[in-house]
Amino acid sequence: MNGGASQRPIPAVQHAIQIVDAGRTVHNRAKAVPKPGPHQILVKMEAVGICFSDTKLLHAFTGHPRKSEVLSGLPPEVLAEIPSYVPGTLPTVPGHEPVGHIVAVGAQVRRHRIGERCLIQTDYRHLPTAAANAAFGYNFEGGLQEYVLLDERMIIEPGTDERFLIPVGEGPGASAIALVEPWACVEASYVYHERREPLPGGRLLVVADAGHAVEGIGALIAKARPAAVTALVADPAARAVLQPTGVAVAVAPDQAALPRHGFDDIVYFGADPATIERLQDCLAFRGLINVVTGGTSIGRPVAVDIGRIHYDLTRWTGTTGSSATESYAGIPADGEVRDGDSIGVIGAAGPMGLMHVVRAASGGWKDLSIAAIDIDDTRLAHLEHAAGPIARSRSVRLTVANSRTSAVAPGFSYIALMVPAPALVGGAVTLAGSGCRINIFAGFATGTRAEIDLDTYIERHCYLLGTSGSGIPDMKAVLRKVESGELDTNISLDAVCGFEGVADALAAVEGRTASGKIMVYPSLPDLGLVRLSEMGERFPSVAAKLDDGRWTKAAEQELLRVAGKSGGNS
């Protein structure tokens, strides 16, 4: 090992938060600090944000799709060399919103050096698991410990050669950098490029009920030729339409013979809700279903797997017409806000909702209105205090509304949903106006179904979209804004703590009692949870360095000084 250390010697043991079973965390005060192997890197954690996803891992533990074993991308012998690889029942360290400094590297490490400050991208999409992919803070130990080990062979992105440890300057405070990760997830949900045609080289399924003509398939195939077409078409005349396309067509005997997750595109000519519900299970990862009703009515709500929209990036489109080309043509290029949008943010007063509101208010779009909708007046007042001045300075009309005490008028052209309540997805369609984009930001588990009025969805040309996590470009885009002073991510911070406050922090996030994000400082292991609104009582010298109640680098430095001296006690 090339060795190297921070200004202080690297200790043999450390403080760490570990999930040891479903619903059970421990504050381990003597977890061994691993020594880097030849390809490995040791990072000393500066700050780590708490995420709602941490609570999902806590409750699911071995049942979480990102806690299972890596299936490919790294040889088993390499995985065996990484002590921070902890799939299955092995205890794990959560925390996937981190920033830290590299303090030691192995002899064969080539792309990283001691002393670098790094923002850590944590979503290893190149390392698949049975139902998702590997991730830092899940089946690889995360940031809620003083030191974390990574292996260089797993943190270089295939295809781009980009580092997952993104170099960061020393200018911004640790909290501002750690908060880049959740802000990048928000960014990703808007800029993700939507597919507007069948997948070239993909697998296409065409299903047509009796009496429904098959129209537009030839034009689609001419534009984006699939590798294979499977047909389940009732009328012989409709089947004949598929033959001149020049693509071999396999005829399925019945719906039961269709493979689960087997198709990149499904075009259904019909309006039977039970058929639609069955066909969605045949969508592959990033698959798209196109419902062509031909002027007939579906007649009842359809149980749509909204978890797959979020995690598997599945998509739904449709038309009341008779041609499949109409539906694809109506798909937006991305999920971005547009000039003139009327935006409804449901669950706006929580940590992520505030980020969506601030992003829209500060983005420079013209003639924009935002309705921030929640059920907690105190948190709504906090949102107005934080985002109101930004909106007014940019001539954005921002209103806050408690949906328990006041009616929310329909007609939104954009809806962002923060609350993982299936009924609210169906409700979003009711609130939608023509051409509404519905951003399902709330992370529903795969298999969660919501009753959605697809007749209204199709008639109003709505589009459900959702993403999970962020990529390196998203993080770099937000980081540039932070380092240039264009964005202060600390606007979304509500509380700080050390390891002793993590249990309370997780409870606050799960109970939705926090008005913003919570930041953990690993160098203050005994500090309990302190809300910024309480800072004057607990640490007056820290409160004096807040900026109108907002966290600052100066406040952070003062907290590290005074709480470090007191052992975390005021």
Where in the chain is CATH 3.40.50.720?
203-329, 342-465
Average pLDDT, stretch 127-152?
96
Residue-wise pLDDT tens digits, 276-300: 999 999 999 999 999 999 999 999 9
Nearest to 441 by CA among 409, 469, 413, 418: 418
Name residue 48's amino acid.
V
342-465 placed in CATH 3.40.50.1820: no
Reported confidence tier of residue 243, pLDDT bands at 50, 70, 90: confident
What's the confidence (pLDDT) of residue 1? 39
**Interatomic CA distance for residues 259 and 32, integer angstroms:** 47
Q: Is 61 helix (H, G, I), strand (E, B) or coil?
A: helix
- DSSP strand pairing (147-151 vs 40-50): antiparallel
Q: How many residues does the chain have?
A: 570
Where in the chain is CATH 3.90.180.10?
13-191+472-565
Q: Which fold has domain 203-329?
A: Rossmann fold (3.40.50)
What's the confidence (pLDDT) of residue 6? 44
The CATH superfamily holding the domain 13-191+472-565 is: Medium-chain alcohol dehydrogenases, catalytic domain (3.90.180.10)
Residue-wise pLDDT tens digits, 349-372: 999 999 999 999 999 999 999 999
- Rg (Cα) of the chain, in Å, rounded? 25
Residue-wise pLDDT tens digits, 50-93: 999 999 999 999 999 999 999 999 999 999 999 999 999 999 99
Residue-wise pLDDT tens digits, 436-449: 999 999 988 889 99
Neighbours of 416 (CB within 10 A): 32
Using CA atoms, how far residue 194 sits from 199, 287, 414, 515, in Å, is 11, 11, 16, 32
pTM over 0.85: yes
